[in-house]
Amino acid sequence: MRYYTTTEAAAVLNVDPSRVRLLCKLGRIETIKIGNTYGIAEDVLDQFAARERRPGRPRKVAVPEVVETLGDADCLSSHPSWLPIPSKADLTTNQT
């Protein structure tokens, strides 16, 4: 069984080595720890590379809890005066 380093795995996945280290740390890629580096098994890397991924950053979605919290006067008492306070309408509109 062959094990890849994060740099080698990054070349296979066509991503930055820091992204591979983050995926290992989050547990999205199964690894073994060899000293201070990660060892990624060849079959695990092949399975991860075969997954379908959507490119780009996920779209932002307004979270109702945040909208409700910002509407409360209690949380605005510590709000900096130089920062404009968004209205509920501003937060609920779909920004693209």
- Residues 30-69: pLDDT tens digits? 999 888 888 999 999 999 999 887 777 777 776 665 555 5
Considering Cα of 55, then 60, then 64, then 68, what sign does the dihedral take?
Answer: positive
Report the chain's mean pLDDT, rounded to a whole number.
78
Distance CA(30)–CA(39), nearest Å, equals 9
Percent of the chain with pLDDT over 90: 39
Enter the pTM of the model: 0.55
Residue 32: strand, helix, or coil = strand
Q: What's the burial of 9, exposed, middle or buried (CB within 10 Å: 0-12/13-18/19+)? A: buried
Domain boundaries, the chain: 3-50, 61-96
Percent of the chain with pLDDT over 70: 65
Residue 40: strand, helix, or coil = strand
Residue 3: strand, helix, or coil = strand
